[in-house]
Amino acid sequence: FYYIYLFISGNLAEFGDEYFEARTYGNIKVVEKRRRNLERYKSVLNSKSDEDSLANFAKWEPPHGKFGFRHPWKQYLVVAALVRQCAHRIDALNSYINSDFQIPIDIKKKLEEPFRRMSLESGKAMKEASISLKKMTKSSSYDIHIINSQSACKALSTLLKSGILNDVEPLQMVSLLTTVSLLNDIVNITEKISESVRELASAARFRNKMKPTEPSVSLKKLDSGSTGCAMPINSRDGDHVVTILLSDDDKDDIDDDDTSNIVLDDDTINEKSEDGEIHVQTSCVREVGMMPEHSLGVRILQI
């Protein structure tokens, strides 16, 4: 399924380039290479029997790894059926790229921006969905691409209603409107595919996509209720020493030899305090051991 998605997403992303540049490129080899790339979708058109066989074999396998008991294999077939529908639309589009009824260049330039956005954003959404299937992670990153493609559809509709096709020949207009209709279908099918992938992710219990977080240090003196925060520091940047200065009012609370040692290593903060009541708040605390090579040391002084 992952490679099927990649074929379709690549075709969609390249359709705009091929449609608007096939007649303007002087290098015939460039045009032919792009045309061959655009025809990769053909491997998807007749893939139903292979997909059914693979899904049938998979459901008889014992549970293993991420594929647990009653894994929703049928939902994969639902997604694959929608992808094939998209491939058939691309097949129809391909016949209009080098049609004998080409619209005038000046009108083509006006339509270029929404055409490219529709094909490119649909391709990006398809690619994000394929990554979600391959890594078995829940993702909503393809939603923004679907919104962008729908926005391009509305822009194209507004442009066509403005009367730019008044001087276009009837046969040229038929070719153009058919292309517009097929692109609109692809945008709608891409939205359905994203919904099916979301249902599959929920049924198969895909894990949530992890977001990178930066470690941070929050200092709090419990007896006074005051809180101080340090800016996030990347523990891989090298050794760091933070000096915390206490006011004169706190001199009596902490002895000269009283210190707190804090070690930050890969989002983990360790603390050891003897007599004072200054603490470091963190989501993960363990016993202080040997300081690692890259660490954050905190030194408490008095003023």
Instruction: Tell me the average confidence (pLDDT) per consecutive run of 10 residues in the chain, 303 residues long.
Output: 54 62 48 56 79 84 78 90 89 75 78 88 87 85 90 92 84 85 92 92 82 45 42 47 47 46 43 44 38 42 40
This model's pTM is above 0.75: no
- The confidence score (pLDDT) of residue 189 equals 93
- The confidence score (pLDDT) of residue 184 equals 92
Q: Which residue has the tokens 């603390």?
A: 271
- The confidence score (pLDDT) of residue 146 equals 92
Q: How many CA atoms lie within 13 A of 187 on its CB side?
A: 26
2-208: CATH number? 1.20.58
- The confidence score (pLDDT) of residue 199 equals 92
Question: Do 178 and 247 contact (CB within 8 A), yes or no?
Answer: no
- The confidence score (pLDDT) of residue 9 equals 57
Closest to 8 in 3D by CA, of 97, 98, 84, 95:
84
- The confidence score (pLDDT) of residue 195 equals 93
- The confidence score (pLDDT) of residue 1 equals 52
- The confidence score (pLDDT) of residue 21 equals 60
- The confidence score (pLDDT) of residue 290 equals 39
What is the rounded CA–CA span in Å between residue 118 and residue 202?
A: 28
Kindly give the pairing relationship between strand 240-246 and strand 226-230.
Answer: unpaired
**Extents of the domains making up the chain:** 2-208, 217-302
- The confidence score (pLDDT) of residue 172 equals 82
